Amino acid sequence: MIINIEGLEFGYSSVPILKDVTVTMRGPRFISILGPNGVGKSTLIHCINKILSPTVGTVIIDDRNVKDISIKEMAKMVGYVPYSANDTFPLTVVDTVLMGRHPHSHRGTLDSDLDIVYETLDMLGILDLAMRSFNELSAGQHQKVMLARGLAQEPKVLLLDEPTSNLDVRHQLEVAKMLKRLSRVKEILVIMICHDINIAAKYSDEIILLHGGTVFDVGTPKEVITRQNLEVVYGVDAKVIDDEGVPHVILRDSIQEKKQLEAGVTVPETRDTATEAI
């Protein structure tokens, strides 16, 4: 399973958001896409799963241009777990996850589909939610159910848009670890957009770092998560330490604040720089 993106450009208007994106993702592997807000991470995965079509360039999955692959075929090959949208399904958890079996549909539901759904819920540790109504669950539980729906689809490529954003630290670790295991056990290509650099660094085989609408760096976590890269791409002053071979980032300050402090400019205590950055 290889995804080859070649000279991809995409814009929602005449202004390109992504330009000259060329990258190869090879499975079975667990790959993270990192980059600041608005850089085009979600847009890029939408170009892979055919929600969007590149203006220029190509996306090739196993020697086939995605533009020549039917929607139904794509749904069998590529699973997609969207950014935790405020989706509501007036359904039980089982029925919501069963929707993931739709691309493989036959008439009605087979016992084997239900078996896959229950196995997936079990694997994610949410078997007890099976008969609950999706709409009454917490954000973290929603996220796990949506993840289960993507897994139940049994795709060869699984794309996940910030699958850990609503989870507490323990569940973030567990989900990332499970995604890595899944890439091995099911021999699939798992591609996750992630905001937590340390989670991505700890579990990913490879990291694709986006900046300025294009691929700024790609490689192993050790190669990509460097002080220099974090400074240029995120505008932060960070210390990167080696935690048993895995890079671990300690954030110190935003570059802007650091420069102001060095220049002797006092920063008001109450200023919410995190919000301003967004």
Ligand X SMILES: Nc1ncnc2c1ncn2[C@@H]1O[C@H](COP(=O)(O)OP(=O)(O)O)[C@@H](O)[C@H]1O
Among 25, 34, 39, 249, binds ligand X (CB under 6 A): 39
Which listed option, Mg ion, ligand X, none, makes contact with residue 142 (CB within 5 to 8 Å by class)? Answer: none
Give the DSSP letter of residue 134: G
* Smallest distance, ligand X to C-beta of residue 40, A: 4
Q: Taking CB within 5 to 8 Å according to partner kind, which of ligand X, Mg ion, none is near residue 130? A: none
Neighbours of 160 (CB within 10 A): 25
Beta-carbon neighbour count of residue 79 at 10 Å?
Answer: 24
Nearest residue (CB) to Mg ion, 41 versus 50:
41
Told to check if 17 binds ligand X by CB under 6 A, we report yes
Q: Which is nearer to ligand X, 35 or 103 (CB)?
A: 35
Read out DSSP for 204-262?
-SEEEEEETTEEEEEE-HHHH--HHHHHHHH-EEEEEEEETTEEEEEEEEEHHHHHHHH
Q: Per rule CB under 6 A, is residue 54 in the interface with ligand X? A: no
Pick from Mg ion, ligand X, none: which does 180 bind, CB < 5 to 8 A by kind? none
- What three-state secondary structure class fits 183? helix
Residue with Cβ nearer Mg ion (121 or 146): 146
Residue closer to ligand X (CB basis): 37 or 70: 37
Backbone angles phi, psi at 111, to 5 degrees: -60, -35
Q: Give the Cα separation of 102 and 113 in Å (integer).
A: 9
Q: Is 41 an interacting residue with respect to ligand X (CB under 6 A)? A: yes
Site string for ligand X, 205-224 (x = CB under 6 A): --------------------
User: Closer to ligand X at the Cβ: 103 or 163?
Assistant: 163
3-state secondary structure of 100: helix
Strand partners, 253: 237
Nearer to Mg ion among residue 46 and residue 101 (C-beta): 46
Say which residue the tokens 């220049």 belong to: 263
268 phi/psi in degrees, rounded to 5: -60, 135
Cβ 123 to Mg ion shortest distance, Å: 26
Report if residue 125 touches ligand X, rule: CB under 6 A: no
The footprint of ligand X (CB under 6 A) covers 12, 17, 35, 37-43
